[in-house]
């Protein structure tokens, strides 16, 4: 597969978008509404943060719309937030919109366990390019037993949020096409008391996948395999049978990842008028989405999630220009390096 494929894919999506929005051109700008969740407060320590113990990071506060909140004496913080968001949406300009994104990282996969087992240098420079070892497979890695437990814990948390905190559940569910996310989203939202009008029917979107490295854990299964494993899921239009993007010993650049993260967010906002949107993705991909949204860096552990209250503004004029880059070449070692220090991540320690 040639590196220009990703550029062609992006050009195709731009052409589709242009078609839906005849002249004059517009583009969407995203900003984060501050002061609602602890995760976007610079003083919150991401590595020590427990989203389950802290009500998803929802800050205890009043909102300017509390006085008109139905049953305001008994309303929970989440109910007052929902009233605030719906007021923002009914009072904003016609080119503005507010949405609450729930961004969840998959539970631990076999690739995560293998990286810990072999150490990061040996993983990056040798093992990650293989499909697995003689006992486990990490190509398009499945969840480990602890990874399944992590997702089940988030499921219990959602059950508590819906029942006790009266949190508004997601109206739409999107997932990366990689197996660990397909499993995580199912375990997370199964058997919940969701409203009939917004049932749990995930939509698989190619560009919510992890940053594409030479690691086989970033190569997805075919559409037929995904459909066989998860028959109730839907696919975005144009989702291809075979992975068009993963390439042996080639890696997408971070610049390209942010460009396609913006495309996939735009695609969601242009095709879906939901206010509560769940996305199940990856550490690197959620970091990229946060950059596009203008949220500070917030690293998630496996199985963790964060909410982001987003203001999307449709502005006149073309998107500021971006240029996709060719995939980078990846260097590996012929045999696993013995050095464990992370300074060997460029594989200069190959022996």
Ligand X SMILES: *[C@@H]1O[C@H](CO)[C@@H](O)[C@H](O)[C@H]1NC(C)=O
Catalytic residues: 106, 210
* Nearer CB in complex with ligand X: 316/351: 316
Using rule CB under 6 A, residue 78 touches ligand X:
no
Looking at 5-13, 26-34, 157-165, 334-342, which segment touches ligand X (CB under 6 A)?
26-34
Residues 191-220 binding ligand X (CB under 6 A) are none
Query: What residues contact residue 24 under an 8 Å CB cut-off, 6+ apart?
Result: 316, 317
Looking at 7-15, 42-50, 216-224, 263-271, which segment touches ligand X (CB under 6 A)?
42-50
Residue 118's alpha-carbon distances to 12, 284, 337, in angstroms, are 40, 21, 10
Give the pair of three-digit tokens for residue 266.
Answer: 């735009």
Give the pair of three-digit tokens for residue 88.
Answer: 């923002």
Using rule CB under 6 A, residue 134 touches ligand X:
yes
Using rule CB under 6 A, residue 29 touches ligand X:
yes
Using rule CB under 6 A, residue 95 touches ligand X:
no
* Nearer CB in complex with ligand X: 31/345: 31
Using rule CB under 6 A, residue 294 touches ligand X:
yes
Using rule CB under 6 A, residue 92 touches ligand X:
no
Using rule CB under 6 A, residue 317 touches ligand X:
no
Q: Give just the sign of the alpha carbon dihedral 308, 312, 169, 188.
A: negative
Using rule CB under 6 A, residue 310 touches ligand X:
no
Using rule CB under 6 A, residue 30 touches ligand X:
yes
Looking at 55-63, 237-245, 279-287, 327-335, which segment touches ligand X (CB under 6 A)?
55-63
* Nearer CB in complex with ligand X: 16/28: 28
Using rule CB under 6 A, residue 133 touches ligand X:
yes
Q: Give just the sign of the alpha carbon dihedral 271, 275, 281, 285.
A: positive
How do strand 250-251 and strand 328-329 relate by DSSP bridges? antiparallel
User: Site for ligand X (CB under 6 A): how many residues?
Assistant: 21
User: Could you give the CA distance from residue 196 to residue 193 in angstroms, rounded to a whole number?
Assistant: 9
* Nearer CB in complex with ligand X: 44/89: 44
User: Could you give the CA distance from residue 309 to residue 99 in angstroms, rounded to a whole number?
Assistant: 6
The closest residue (CB) to ligand X is 294
User: Could you give the CA distance from residue 308 to residue 101 in angstroms, rounded to a whole number?
Assistant: 5
Give the pair of three-digit tokens for residue 129.
Answer: 């390019």
Give the pair of three-digit tokens for residue 158.
Answer: 């959602």
User: Could you give the CA distance from residue 143 to residue 179 in angstroms, rounded to a whole number?
Assistant: 8
Using rule CB under 6 A, residue 31 touches ligand X:
yes
189 CB burial (10 A radius; 0-12, 13-18, 19+): buried
Task: Please report how close the Cβ of residue 222 comes to ligand X at its closest, in angstroms.
Answer: 24
Using rule CB under 6 A, residue 62 touches ligand X:
no
Contacts to ligand X by CB under 6 A: 29-31, 45, 47-48, 54-55, 59-60, 110, 113-114, 117, 133-136, 294, 313, 315
């Amino acid at each position: 597969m040639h590196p220009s494929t990703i550029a062609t894919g992006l050009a195709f999506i731009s052409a589709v978008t242009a078609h839906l929005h005849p002249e004059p051109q517009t583009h969407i700008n995203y900003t984060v509404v501050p002061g609602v969740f602890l995760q976007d407060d610079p003083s919150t320590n991401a590595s020590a943060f427990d989203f389950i113990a802290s009500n998803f990071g929802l800050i205890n506060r009043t909102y300017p719309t509390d006085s008109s909140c139905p049953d305001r004496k008994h309303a929970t913080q989440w109910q007052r937030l929902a009233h605030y968001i719906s007021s923002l949406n009914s009072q904003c300009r016609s080119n503005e919109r507010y949405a609450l994104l729930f961004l969840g990282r998959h539970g631990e996969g076999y690739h995560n366990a293998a990286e810990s087992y072999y150490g990061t240098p040996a993983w990056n420079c040798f093992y990650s390019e293989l499909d697995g070892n003689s006992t486990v497979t990490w190509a398009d890695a499945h969840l480990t037993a602890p990874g399944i437990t992590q997702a089940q814990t988030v499921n219990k948390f959602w059950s508590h949020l819906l029942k006790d905190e009266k949190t508004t559940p997601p109206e739409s569910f999107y997932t990366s096409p990689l197996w660990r996310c397909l499993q995580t989203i199912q375990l997370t939202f199964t058997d919940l008391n969701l409203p009939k009008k917004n049932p749990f029917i995930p939509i698989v979107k190619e560009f919510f996948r992890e940053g594409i490295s030479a690691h086989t854990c970033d190569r997805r299964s075919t559409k037929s395999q995904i459909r066989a494993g998860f028959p109730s899921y839907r696919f975005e239009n144009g989702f291809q049978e075979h992975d068009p993007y993963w390439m042996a010993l080639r890696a997408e650049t971070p610049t390209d990842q942010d460009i396609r993260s913006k495309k996939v967010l735009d695609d969601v906002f242009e095709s879906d008028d939901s206010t509560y949107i769940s996305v199940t993705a990856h550490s690197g991909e959620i970091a990229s989405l946060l950059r596009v949204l203008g949220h500070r860096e917030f690293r998630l552990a496996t199985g963790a999630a964060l909410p982001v209250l987003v203001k999307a503004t449709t502005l006149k004029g073309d998107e500021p220009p971006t240029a996709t880059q060719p995939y980078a070449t990846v260097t590996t070692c012929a045999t696993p390096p013995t050095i464990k220090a992370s300074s060997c991540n460029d594989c200069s320690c190959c022996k």
